[in-house]
Amino acid sequence: MSFDPSKDLEPVAAVARVLVFLVTSPGFPAKDAKEFLAQLKARPGKLSFGSPGNGSSPHLAAEMMKSQANVFATHVPYRGAAPALTDLLAGQLDFLFDPGVAMPHIKAGKLKLLAVGSLKRSPLFPDVPTLDEVGLKGFDADTVFGLYAPAGTPADFVNRLNREINKALALPGPRERIAALGGEPAPMTPAQFHAKALEDGVRFGKLIRERKIVGD
């Protein structure tokens, strides 16, 4: 059965902008993102990174970094984020891009947070630079999670649901929950959400084709 999200789904509301954080194992010999990139360049193919699986957003973020920095590192795909994080904590991996799962370990000082993979810094870590700031100009691996309805859903229902979701995103509870996971509330109109989805599709689609990425 063929399925085309751009035709078969109706954008309703964005919920959260999900940031990815560049984190390294505790003993990795780099104190900041610039030193980390220098290590990658000096040791081509010697460093490894994990992800929750081929084609996952952390995998795409790492491939984006490899492409823009013109470096090579070995990808180790896992069946989910938890086992990848376990091996990073144990020093079996050198780094990974984390979408928020590692927050407790970062805050506890068990992992080193070197950079944010977006165009703006995270409010949770205002002193941590973005990869754009340390030399990878335009680096943006953010994704947006949201709610869709079947194509053909009446516009008045879509707009009403959008307004209610945006109201909820302004409340302290949802905002705090999203922030605890490393994200940010992303209230948008249905049209803005649709435009963002198309923009992300073009950006990540180009990366997937260029890097010949095949999902699990």
Given pLDDT bands bounded at 50, 70 and 90, which one contains residue 7? confident
Q: What is the mean pLDDT of residues 200-206?
A: 93
What value does the mean pLDDT of the chain take?
A: 94
28 domain residue, yes or no: yes
Asked if 52 and 99 sit in the same domain, the reply is yes
Are 216 and 206 in contact by the 8 Å Cβ rule? The answer is: no
Per cent of the chain over pLDDT 70 is 100
Task: Look up residue 195 and give its amino acid.
Answer: A
4 domain residue, yes or no: no
Q: What is the mean pLDDT of residues 136-163?
A: 96
Burial class (CB in 10 A: 0-12, 13-18, 19+), 79: exposed
71 domain residue, yes or no: yes
Q: What pTM value is reported for the model?
A: 0.91
Cα 91 to the chain's mean position, in Å? 22
**Helical spans, DSSP H, in 70-189:** 81-89, 103-107, 155-169, 172-180
Asked if 98 and 152 sit in the same domain, the reply is no
100 domain residue, yes or no: yes
Q: What is the pLDDT of residue 26?
A: 84
Q: What is the mean pLDDT of residues 18-41?
A: 94
Asked if 204 and 152 sit in the same domain, the reply is yes
Per the structure, the complete domain to which residue 57 belongs is given by: 20-116
Q: What is the mean pLDDT of residues 93-110?
A: 93
Given pLDDT bands bounded at 50, 70 and 90, which one contains residue 37? very high
Given pLDDT bands bounded at 50, 70 and 90, which one contains residue 180? confident
Asked if 33 and 75 sit in the same domain, the reply is yes
Asked if 102 and 151 sit in the same domain, the reply is no
State how many domains the chain has: 2
Asked if 34 and 88 sit in the same domain, the reply is yes
Q: What is the mean pLDDT of residues 79-102?
A: 94
Residue 1 has pLDDT above 70, yes or no: no
Can you tell me the distance from the alpha carbon of 77 to that of 10, in angstroms, rounded to the nearest whole number? 32
Q: Which comes out higher in pLDDT, residue 25 or 139?
A: 139
135 domain residue, yes or no: no
1 domain residue, yes or no: no
Q: What is the mean pLDDT of residues 176-203?
A: 93
171 domain residue, yes or no: yes
5 domain residue, yes or no: no
CATH number of 169's domain: 3.40.190.150
Phi-psi region of 169 (alpha: psi -120 to 50; beta: other; left: phi over 0): alpha
Residue 216 has pLDDT above 80, yes or no: no
Token representation of residue 21: 């954080």
Asked if 92 and 29 sit in the same domain, the reply is yes
Last residue of a domain, one of 99, 116, 133: 116
Nearest to 162 by CA among 10, 17, 18: 10
Asked if 166 and 200 sit in the same domain, the reply is yes
CATH number of 28's domain: 3.40.190.10
Q: What is the mean pLDDT of residues 93-120?
A: 94
Asked if 32 and 80 sit in the same domain, the reply is yes
Asked if 48 and 109 sit in the same domain, the reply is yes
Asked if 155 and 98 sit in the same domain, the reply is no
